[in-house]
Amino acid sequence: MQVFGLLGNPVEHSLSPPMHEAAYDALGMDARYVTFEPARDAAGAAVAAADTLGIAGLNVTIPFKRDVLDAVEPDDVARRVGAVNTVDFSTSPPRGYNTDVAGVERALAHHDVGIDGRDAVVVGAGGAGRAVAFALADAGARVHIANRTVDRAESLAADVPGATAGGLDTRDRVADADLLVNATSVGMDPDAEETPVPAAHLHEDLAVLDAVYAPIETRLLREAAAAGATTVDGAWMLLFQGVAAFERWTGRDAPVDAMNQALRAALE
């Protein structure tokens, strides 16, 4: 039996186990996906232990994505983003990848949203914002990063090819943009008054990806749909980072429909 898993703290509400186990079931694989919650300073020790125990692959989530960089051989994308979310133990040393980047590209491609040559606004400059900004810039978009803490946006823009940065006041650039990604946590609380981008900036020539996946339908996506924009919910991004991890580990095409159904059932 192959064992895959997730390293995080906390991991109890993770959606990865049902999503990956649906893939194993769909393909008749003898495999399990389990969660590990080591101490917050133990990322390196946990990766070494997983390697020793013969674990085939690990996903990595908060707070370990940066720390795991030092415990693996990161590929170029993971090194530039500064975060690893997928470890493949089939080589020695184990290889580290950032499939959040692939998740953004594949979620947009799945909805026929083009990136190359487009003007994109990314709101947020935390962990998700980093992956989104690199994904869009690497796929050929002109990226503007708007963040509540301007320093954080500027520091991210310095790493991302061609990116510009500003505070939340620069969200008005969405009015002239082709693509908007919300990479803030605003929208997770359905009762909150806040929205990451005012409805007045949304328009029918825009595609909107909301990284928030709980709830699946956020206020931003509702208002974007009302404005005639193309909408892509955060569960697609989550799905495709898992699909990319599965394909890294197994070398097989992932059963995307089975994984998507399991993910959405778990979210609901």
In whole angstroms, give the CA distance from residue 100 to residue 105. 9
Site map 56..85 versus ligand NAP, x via CB under 6 A: ------------------------------
- Segment lying near ligand NAP (by CB under 6 A), choices 135-143, 159-167, 211-219, 220-228: 211-219
Q: Does 238 interact with ligand NAP (rule: CB under 6 A)?
A: yes
> Which one, of 189, 197, 218, lies nearest residue 148 by Cα?
197
Q: Does 151 interact with ligand NAP (rule: CB under 6 A)?
A: no
**Cβ-contact 136, 143 below 8 angstroms:** yes
3 beta partners: 32
> Which one, of 29, 82, 92, 91, lies nearest residue 60 by Cα?
82
**Cβ-contact 4, 249 below 8 angstroms:** yes
Complex with ligand NAP: residue 45 or 192, whichever CB lies closer: 192
Q: How many residues belong to the site for ligand NAP (CB under 6 A)? A: 25
36 beta partners: 7
Here the tokens at position 24 are 């194993």
- Residues numbered 81-120 forming contacts with ligand NAP, rule: CB under 6 A: 100, 103
Complex with ligand NAP: residue 30 or 268, whichever CB lies closer: 268
In whole angstroms, give the CA distance from residue 218 to residue 220. 5
Among 32, 66, 111, 148, binds ligand NAP (CB under 6 A): 148
65 is catalytic: yes
Among 90, 185, 222, 228, binds ligand NAP (CB under 6 A): 185
Residue nearest to ligand NAP (CB): 126
Question: Which residues, at least 6 apart from 158, have a Cβ–Cβ distance to it below 8 Å?
Answer: none
Choosing from 20, 65, 106, 171, which is the catalytic residue? 65
Which residue in this structure is represented by tokens 């193309």? 230
Among 24, 33, 64, 213, binds ligand NAP (CB under 6 A): 213
In whole angstroms, give the CA distance from residue 267 to residue 212. 12
Residues that bind ligand NAP (CB under 6 A): 100, 103, 124-129, 147-149, 152, 183-186, 188, 194, 211-213, 234, 237-238, 241
Active site residues: 65
